[in-house]
Structure formats: C-alpha cells, structure tokens
Structure 1
Amino acid sequence: MQITAALSRVAGQDLTLETLALGPLRDDEVLVRVVATGICHTDIGMRDSPSRIPRPMVLGHEGAGVVVSTGKAVNRIQAGDHVVMSFDTCGTCHSCVSGKVAYCSHLGAYNFAGQRLDGSTALSVGQEAVHSHFFGQSSFATHAVCHERNAVVVDADLPLELLGPLGCGFQTGAGAVLNSLGVSAGQTLAVLGTGAVGLAAVMAARIAGATTLVAVDTNNARLELATELGATHVINGAREEVFTRLRAIVPQGVNFALDTTGNLDLIRQATQNLAPLGVCGLINTARGADLSANILSLVLGGHSVRGIHQGDSDPQRFIPELISLYRQGRFPFDRLLSFYELADINVALSDMHEGRSIKPVIRMPT
C-alpha cells in the first residue's frame, strides 16, 4: 500500500514528506493507521545525529491509531482496536521475562536499527529501501508497522490524538517518580527541567503525595504551569542560584532529585544536595557524557545515582494506569500538548527544540 511519511535523509536537515510503499505484514506484526503521534527530544536527537541511525529513516515513536490488520500469529490485538504504540522489546530475555521490559537486553536492535532482525525493512520508495521500525513503529507516517508486544490497546471513547505521548515522554516522567524512585507521601523531590518529561514527573509526584516538590527551570511560563500542576516551590535558574535556594527550601536536602536536562553541573550539584539515603535519578542521556561524583559524600550520605529508562515502565500495565489517572483529573497531560498537521512537522520540531512547544503532536491527514 502507499503511505505518506516524513523521512530523515540527511543528518541535521529538515524531514521530507514523501509517498512510500509499505510491504506486506509479517506474521507477528500489526498495521496501524496512525491518527496522531507525539514528538520527543529523541526524535530531534536522532534527526541531527550523523551516526546513531541508518538513513533514510522514518522516525517517530509516540504513535496512536487504529489497527487495520494483523499477522496470523497475533492473538491479543484485532482490526479496529485503538492502540498506543510504545518502545519495542524482544519479550524473551531475562529482563523481559522478569517484567523489567524497559531494560530489554536487545533494545538497540529493536528500537534503533531501522530494520527487522533479518535486515529487511517495511518501507521503500522505488528501488530504494527506507529504514523502518524506529522504536518498533516509525510513526511519523500515516501508517505504522509495530508488534503485538509494543501496541497497548486503549478504550475507544478516548481521543487518540491525545494519547500518543503516553508511549514515551509522559510514561518516562511519571514512571521515574512512581516506579523508579518510588516517591511516597511526605517525601521531598526536586525536578530539574520542566519540559514534557519533567512536568509529567511533577504531576506524578503530586499523585504520590510529595510534600515538598521543587521545579527548576529558566522558563517562567513553564514554572507557572509547574505550580498549577502541583509544584510547591519553583526556582528560576536564570535569576537565582539553584542550590542555594533549594537548601533554603529544604535545609536537610531532598529525598530525591530527578534530572531531565542532561546538564552535568546541575547533576553534580544535585548529588551534593540530597538528604541522607537520597537518590538522584537521571533521565536525559547527556549525549553519553561521563559524570564525576565525590565518593566520600556518596558513602557517608548513603546516596545513590540511578539511570532511568522509560520510567521503568511496562507499557501494557502503566499506560492504562496513566489513562485512569487522566480520567480522574489527576494526570492532566493534555494541558502540555500543541497540535500540528503532518505538513508542518518541521515547524513542530523547531518549536520543540526552541522551547516554544512543550509536547508537539502531529495529526495525520484523514
């Protein structure tokens, strides 16, 4: 079949809208008509990287849509189902079978290789192969091929144009608080960076009952929104020294710090401003940079620094939980969304990169 997709052909350049051929499904695959897809900073990072992904490739990994058809080995999903697509996994490694799917041993092959395990791709234009299966979906397109493992069935009464970002950004921020760090009532948390992931963490911390919740950013509008979503204190890093102010708020240090910025100086200072047995969680990869920490301080304080991937989430369980919280009015993630048409995807990418949009969502043409 013929589909329309946004291709990354040259690192650092705008995506190009092209008509592609989508080949037949494999037995374990699911064809989804994409209704909308969120944009994540990972999409921007991969667009700009000269080496992390093969090209040409269709990016996009926060897709939501309606199942068109399934391969004959698919049992849990059927045509007509509404689904949110998340990251893909092998389903058979130790991490997967023990319920820690965010740490699948084969995440690279299933999410960044741009092809099936046998080397084939689902897409082409003329005689040129186009790399597919980015995060098991490549959802910057009118149709996407995913697997039963990474498609989460959702209630059909919910607007699909809202739900795609639950598949990555929002589950990462909320999961970091509720799953990874296990923030509980009465504890203190500092969230460094109030983009989509950071604000999802703020909302989750309010749900968890954190009594002191400090949001840190340099954008006043986002800090105001953080207050509305549950932050008890905000710090504008462009106007005051962050950790002097943090210590004034929480003299003993915070139980948890969660970094979404990848700023190494912020991370280093966060580890030095933890309460005894405090934990600093890292979400932003900081482009693989090395981090130094004072070991004496870590040992005497019982401090931990934890890497967090996808909020330690099992999407099949956690996405429905987030939807339930949204229905209750406790996780109003829709307040973070801005909508764009597929033809304006490069505008949306620019708006996110420049901070004009917290979470852009691309609507597909009907």
Structure 2
Amino acid sequence: MLSKAGVTHSKGAKYVIETIEVASPKENEVLVKIAGCGLCHTDELAQEQVIPVQLPAVLGHEGAGVVIEVGSSVTGVKPGDHVVLSYASCGHCETCLDGKPYVCRNNAQLQFGGAMSDGTKRLSLNGKEVSNFFGQSSFAAYAVANERNVVVVDKEVDLTILGPLGCGFQTGAGTVLNGLKPKFGSSIVIFGTGAVGSAAIMAAKIVGCQKIIAVDVVPAKLELAKEIGATHTINGKEIADVVEEIKSITNGGANYSIETTGVPALVNQSLHCLRTLGQSAIVGVSGDVTINVFDAVMMEGRTMQGFIQGNAVPQLFIPKLVEYYKAGLFPFDKLVKVYDLEDINQAFDDTHKGLALKAVVKM
C-alpha cells in the first residue's frame, strides 16, 4: 500500500514528505489508517541520532487511527476499531510476564532497532527498506503495528487528538496514578509543564493532592498549569531559590516531585525540595547528574526512582484516561494544537518556541 509519510533521511535533517510503500501486516500485526500523531521529544532524539535509529526512518510513536486490516492470528482487534498505538513489548520476557511490559527486557530493540519484532521491516521507499520506530512509525497515513501495541478506544472521542495518550500523556498521568500513587491531601511538585508535566498535574488533581506546584520558566505554560489543576506556580527565572520557595509553600517540603525536563540542576531541585521520606520520580531524559547522595537522599530517607511510560499497561490504562477525559477530569484537549502532516517541521519549531504545548499532525 502506498502511504504519505514524513521521512527522516539524515542526522538532524528536516522531515521530508514522501510516498512510501507499506507492506501488509503479518500474522500478529494490524494495519492502521492514521488519523493523527503526537510529536514527542523522543522523536527528536532519534532525528538527532541521540537514539541511533538507522536512517532513513519514519518516526512518530503517538499514533491513533482506524484498523483497516488484521493478521491471521490477531484476536483482540478487528477492522473498524478505533485505536491508539503505544509502545512495543515482547510479551515473553520476565518483566512482560510479570505484568510490567513498560520495562520489557527487549525494550530498546523493539522501540529503536528499526525493525518489527521478527527482525524484518514493513516500510520501503523507492525499493529500499526504511526503518520503523516504536513498532509503529505513525508520521504516516498508514502504519503497521504489532497487536501488543494497539489499544481499542471509544469511538465517540475525536481520534485526531488521542495519539499522545500512547506516550506523553500516559507517561505523565501514569507516573502519578500508577507510580507515585500520592496520598489524598499530599503535596506534589512538577518540574516542567510540557505535555508530560501537564498530564501529571491533571492526574494529581484527580487523586486529590492538596498542593500541586508547577515549576517552569514560560509564563504561558504556568498560566495553563493553573487552569488544569496547579494550585501554585513558580517561575524559575523569577524566583531566586526554587527549593526554598517550595518548602515555604509546603511548610517544610513536598511529599512528591516529578522531574520531566532532564536538566541536571532541576533533578537536584526535585530531590532537595522534598520533606523527609519524600519521593522523586524521574521521567525526563537526563544525562550525567552530580548528586550529593548523603545530603539529597540518604540523610532524609528520600527515594529517587525512574519511571518509563508511567508504569502503564496501555490496554488497561489508556481507556481509563479516555473515561477521565469524557468526564471532564483529564482535559488534555486544552494542551493540543493540530497541524497538517505537511507542516510537521513547523510543528516542531512551534513546540520549541513555546507556541504549541503538544503538537499533533493530522493525516
């Protein structure tokens, strides 16, 4: 099948809209007509080859659309189903069998190896194979995905904007709801109010956190954070000592923090702003960070833990987020700005400029 797609040809190069060939799905796979796909920082990491996906590739891993065709062994999905595509997992390693596919032992190969789970590819351009991404490659009009990637969702909800539930929104909300599980009336700090951080803010409101503190340097993002649930906001450019400000707001330190930016200084702040026995969740892509373990962790009995995909099993968690959305409790549509696929490079530029919090390209 011919499909329009945004193709990445070389390190750091802009996306080129081209017509690729998409092969039919194999036994355990489905073919999806993509309605929309969210833009995520992880796509840029592959584009810049921080994640060394073999190029050329069709990136995009927050796709949503309609199932067109299913393989012979697929049982949980049928043509006509509305679906969100999420991360790939093998289903047979120890962690998958233990109900934790978000830490699948084969995670890196399945998301970033450039091929499907059987080691072969479904995409080609001018007769030459093209790498896929996250087992879906949703910057395209059509995508092939493993049945394990696919989540059936309510047909009443606009498919175009649902894609980010498969990664960014799932990561932020899941870190709160599945990972930290904050106690009712507790306090939480979210460092970075992009898509992931904003989803965490909404989730913190759902569980009844009393103080929800958003930290960012973009005033417009902080205003939106208040609209979706933050009780306090801190502009890191205007407050000399963010940690002391948080301790003042929380009368000694927050119970929980979530660090979404990957900035080393904020990783440290996410620990030092906590009260005794506080928990810090790391979801940002951080490099080397210098931490005084005695002062930041041990002396106060604090915990620092990494979370992947919000500890979510997509088939169980994403439908819950859709129900929260329909009930008005998870208004992620306020975060979304929709672009045409042909404008994907502009969408990424607008995201960098703060003009789009969560950009989605429609097909």
TM category, shorter: over 0.9
Residue-pair matches, total: 362
The residue number in structure 2 matching 1:95 is 95
Distance 1:157 1:255 in 2: 38
Contact 2:244 2:273 in 1 (8 A): no
Deviation at 1:283, TM superposition (A): 0.5
Match of 1:107 in 2: 107
Distance 2:297 2:164 in 1: 35
Counterpart for residue 314 of structure 1: 313
CA distance 1:55–1:297, shift in 2 (3 Å) = closer
Instruction: State the SS of the aligned residue for 1:136.
Output: coil
1:182 maps to 2:157:
no
How far residue 157 of structure 1 moved from its aligned partner, in angstroms, is 1.6
Matching residue of 1:116: 116
Distance in 1, matches of 2:25 and 2:338, equals 30
1:1-366 equivalent positions in 2, closer than 5 A: 1-49=1-49, 52-132=52-132, 134-241=133-240, 242-286=242-286, 288-364=287-363
CA contact (8 A) 1:282 1:308 kept: yes
- Kept in 2, the 8 Å contact 1:271–1:293? The answer is no
Structure 1 unaligned spans of 5+: none
CA distance in 1 between counterparts of 2:138 and 2:50 reads 21
Deviations 1:181-220 (A, max 9, x none): 1112111101001001101000000001001111000111
The alignment partner of 1:89 has SS state of: coil
One-letter amino acid of the structure 2 residue matched with residue 317 of structure 1:
L
CA contact (8 A) 2:28 2:147 kept: yes
Letter in 2 for 1:99: G
1:291 deviation in Å?
4.2
Alpha-carbon distance, 1:69 to partner: 0.3
Q: Distance in 2 between matches of 1:118 and 1:246?
A: 49
Query: For residues 296 and 219 of structure 1, do their structure 2 counterparts lie closer, same or farther at Cα, with a shift above 3 Å needed?
Result: closer
Q: C-alpha deviations, 1:90-142, integer Å up to 9, x for none? A: 0111111111111111011111111124432101122311112x111000000
Q: Structure 1's 117 and 142: CA in aligned 2 closer, same or farther, altered over 3 A?
A: same
Higher mean displacement: 240-249 or 311-320:
240-249
- TM-aligned CA deviation for residue 79 of structure 1: 0.7
Secondary structure of residue in 1 paired with 2:299: helix
Conserved 8 A contact 2:154-2:322: no
Deviations 1:30-85 (A, max 9, x none): 00000111111111121112662100000000000000001101011111111000
Q: Partners in 1 of 2:71 and 2:270 — Cα distance? A: 48
* Compared CA separation, residues 280 and 160, structure 1 to 2 (3 A): same
Distance in 1 of aligned mates of 2:51 and 2:256: 34
Q: Secondary structure at the match of 2:252?
A: coil
* Structure 1 letter corresponding to 2:88: D
Partner SS for 1:91 = coil
Provide the rounded CA distance (Å) in 1 between the counterparts of 2:100 and 2:54. Answer: 28
- Give aligned-pair identity as a percent: 43
Residues in 2 aligned to 1:65 and 1:197: alpha-carbon distance in whole angstroms: 22
- TM-score of the superposition, structure 2-length normalised? 0.97
Conserved? CA contact 1:11–1:50, under 8 Å: no
Once the two structures are superposed, residues 256-289 of structure 1 have per-residue CA deviations (whole angstroms, 9 ceiling, x without a partner) of 1110111111111321221111011100112x32
Checking the alignment, whether the CA contact within 8 Å between 1:283 and 1:308 is kept in structure 2 is: yes
Q: Provide TM-score, normalisation by structure 1.
A: 0.96
What letter corresponds to residue 197 of structure 1 in structure 2? Answer: V
Distance 1:104 1:161 in 2: 28
The code of the aligned residue for 1:14 comes to: K
Deviates more, 1:318-327 or 1:347-356: 347-356
Going from structure 1 to structure 2, the CA distance change for 1:232 and 1:277 (only over 3 Å counts) comes to: same
Q: Determine helix, strand or coil for the equivalent of 2:215.
A: strand
Amino acid at match of 1:172: T
Q: Contact 2:22–2:123 at 8 Å: present in 1 too? A: yes
Q: Distance in 1 between matches of 2:180 and 2:51?
A: 33
Offset at residue 297 of structure 1 (A): 4.5
Q: Offset at 1:353?
A: 2.3
- 8 Å contact kept, 1:41–1:353: no
- What RMSD in Å do the two structures reach over aligned CA positions? 1.2
Q: Any idea what SS the aligned residue of 1:180 has?
A: helix
What is the alpha-carbon distance in structure 1 between the residues aligned to residue 142 and residue 75 of structure 2? 20
Partners in 1 of 2:157 and 2:5 — Cα distance?
Answer: 25
By how many angstroms is 1:296 displaced? 4.8
| Amino acid paired to 1:94 | E
- 1-structure distance, mates of 2:330, 2:295: 39
Question: In the alignment, is the contact (CA less than 8 A) between 2:45 and 2:51 conserved in 1?
Answer: no
Q: Tell me, which stretches of 5 or more residues in structure 2 are unaligned?
A: none
